[in-house]
Amino acid sequence: MEISFSPLWLSLKLATITTCILLVLGIFIVYLIHFKLKGYWLVSFVKSIVSLPLVLPPTVLGYYLLVAFNPDSILGSLFEELFNIQLVFSFAGILLGSVIFSLPFIVNPILSAVENLPAYYEDAAYTLGKTQWQTFTKVMLPNIKSSVIVGITMSFAHTIGEFGVILMIGGNIPDETRVASIAIYNEVEMLNYDSANFYSVILLIFSLAVLFFVNFFNSRKNNINL
């Protein structure tokens, strides 16, 4: 049995970069929703868009992303002209797809923690002359650290396990888009059950470990010494 470690490294690389982008993007979106859009109907719209990947079949999202990433489309041609990057069937494409697909896993826990913080922290910071951004970064985020960590972990794990969207927009190109979940599918198709089993066991152990960590962390959340 000859096993390539490339799908595992690719999954790790994809999940790491996706999570880094999501951390910045997720925090910015939470700031936008909580401070700039509060009270407007747009809040419900933005929240719905962010949560859409939770309910949409991955093939539907994958199909629309495939159409949007097409070199003839506005987004596809823009990426090609500006960065000389082709989005369809490329690592850049599955990265962008993963960011969109895993967005709710980082935004929702952070947003819900921000909304559950007592309003007097925010009010107190304003009366001390602090701006909304200072209040958010210096007062609110440090007090919901545990939710940020849960968000990071969940979006990392979810990206590792993503299959449908990646297959739709990335296909099955070795060293480019064949991540671990795609490799399992590929090995089964080729009747290489030993290899499929190897990748599956690793993903199973990894997913279990992540869920255990999140649950353990959540149960200790109230006792964490900030």
Q: Note the residues at the interface with other proteins (CB under 8 A).
A: 118, 120-121, 123-131, 138-139, 142-143, 225-226
What's the Cα-to-Cα distance from 54 to each of 14, 33, 189, rounded to whole Å? 20, 19, 28
- What single DSSP character describes residue 143? G
Least gap, CB of 127 to other proteins (angstroms): 4
Least gap, CB of 140 to other proteins (angstroms): 9
Instruction: Indicate the residue among 55 and 226 with the shorter CB distance to other proteins.
Output: 226
Say whether 32 sits in a helix, a strand or coil.
helix
Rounded to 10 degrees, the C-alpha dihedral 212/110/60/195 comes to -30
Least gap, CB of 149 to other proteins (angstroms): 14
CA distance 221 to 32: 26
Instruction: Indicate the residue among 41 and 120 with the shorter CB distance to other proteins.
Output: 120
Pure H helices in 5-118: 6-31, 42-55, 58-69, 74-83, 91-116
Instruction: Indicate the residue among 4 and 146 with the shorter CB distance to other proteins.
Output: 146
Instruction: Indicate the residue among 1 and 118 with the shorter CB distance to other proteins.
Output: 118
Least gap, CB of 40 to other proteins (angstroms): 16
